[in-house]
Structure 1
């Protein structure tokens, strides 16, 4: 259902973009708009990971780091059937994380220093598993494309006043409405896609790490931290907000048309339901509950940072 909804929303975004192109230049304008969108998406698809990591001043984490962040990420990636991703650390006190990259073979997971300080090792594993789920589901590509479409639609709508074709087809009032409503509609579709993909990544992330409650606990802690602690880089680059596991911009915490993320309590409720279903299935089958897949856990590794 999640993929079907995403496909429908992507089709709506494409139709909206071509519709704006048609109002600007007729059928030829629609074709040109589609070609321009394709070119922009290819550029964004190829370069988005480097651009986003640079925006947030992310620093590469190498194999053998003190906390074992790299080895944890690699082992969870292998659990997910993924190539080894690059691992980055962002020096900001706000607990958060995101994934980026044009495909699973060219992907990166970035976590903040605040996330490591705030979470236990198990909770961090849940967060990394969630980000790996985005990579496995190709969400990093989907969200790059939708963000590019949204930006292009806004640009075309602003051009509307300077082209006679749009005024002839829609009139002055229609053109003004186009300038206002087209970018708004694009933003709503982008946000809806983002919310849909977050729910899917929560479910897949729980499967990757083997413990839905680890991610549920992490989401609750991250939501509190993100609401109280500023993320200056995210505030300077709000277009990247949808990439994070929790909205870094202190947005209202509820599922609404204008939310880039689902409400945290709804996500936690869904994860707890998955955990309950797993326990019930295990009881019926008279075998142990789902196995955790956190690498190299030691008895003292309960809160961050770990030693």
Structure 2
């Protein structure tokens, strides 16, 4: 099912890309856009994950790092039935995280230093489980491809702003369409996919770690941090915002059409419902923040 969704997404983004090319240069522009889109599809499939990690200056974490992060990811990956993904850390005060990669066999999980510092071990486990759910659901490829294409469509639209439509009869209308409508359409695809997949990953992540309230508490803490701490790398690359667990660009409070993420309050409410339906979990609370050194080899779920 993940491959079918990816194919449909590639086709839609390619058609939009060609449409902008047509406005810029007629049939010739559409053909050039098709060739460029084909190359971008190939690049997005094989190389966009690494590009996203470089955009955010992520550095790999060794398998036996003193913080115990790699051990936690390994433990939760085993519970999720996944191979161990690569683990990255981002020097960023804003607490946040994302996953990327073509699929479970070559996935990566990246967390910020702010996330490591501000969350308890149990809350961190909830976040990691959420990202592993994205990997298991094969959301990471879809989200990475949308980030790549949305950025390219916006760049092409900006090009059209300066050089204008080349097709006769388009004129200023074509320029306005390229400037506003094409990036908006690409953004709407990103946003709709992201909102749907975040709810699904919340549910699956809660099941992986076994405690929905761990993730609920983490979401509340991350939202509080993201609302007051800027993420400059994300601001410079807004097409990647939908990949994070919480919008790093300070999303609106409601599940609006133009929001990249569901409202955090709504996600927490769904997790609380899930916790209430799980015997013995409804009253579970995250423990206080752990000491900075490794936590040992026990699973983060206790």
Tell me whether the two structures share a fold, i.e. TM-score over 0.5. Answer: yes
1:1-307 pair list within 5 angstroms = 12-24=12-24, 30=30, 32-158=32-158, 160=160, 162-165=164-167, 167-168=168-169, 171-179=170-178, 180-279=180-279, 302-307=288-293
| Root-mean-square deviation (Å) | 3.1
3-state SS of the aligned residue for 1:278?
coil
Q: In structure 1, how many angstroms separate the alpha carbons of the residues matched to 2:210 and 2:182? A: 42
Q: CA deviation at 1:216?
A: 0.7
Q: Is 2:62–2:70's contact at 8 Å kept on the other side of the alignment? A: yes
SS in 2 for 1:265: helix
CA distance in 1: counterparts of 2:5 and 2:142, whole angstroms: 13
Report how far residue 246 of structure 1 moved.
0.8
Aligned to 2:298: none
Task: Give the drift of 1:209.
Answer: 1.1
Alpha-carbon distance change, 32 to 274 in structure 1, aligned in 2, over 3 angstroms: farther
Deviations 1:204-242 (A, max 9, x none): 111211211111110001100111122233233333222
Query: What is aligned with 1:284?
Result: none
For residues 100-139 of structure 1, give each alpha carbon's deviation from its aligned partner in whole angstroms, at most 9, with x where no partner exists: 2222111111111211221111111110011111111222
In structure 1, what is the Cα distance between the partners aligned to 2:278 and 2:2? 21
Per the normalisation by structure 2, the TM-score is 0.82
Query: Against the structure 1 CA distance between its residues 277 and 28, is the aligned structure 2 distance closer, same or farther, given a 3 Å change threshold?
Result: farther
Is the CA contact 1:121–1:306 (under 8 Å) kept in the aligned structure 2?
A: no
TM norm structure 1: 0.81
When the two structures are aligned, how many residues end up with a matched partner?
Answer: 288
Gaps of 5+ in 2: 294-302
Q: How far apart, CA to CA, are the structure 1 residues paired with 2:34 and 2:204? A: 33
Contact 2:23/2:165 (<8 A) preserved: no
SS in 2 for 1:105: helix
> Cα distance, 1:97 vs. partner?
0.9
Structure 1 SS opposite 2:102? strand
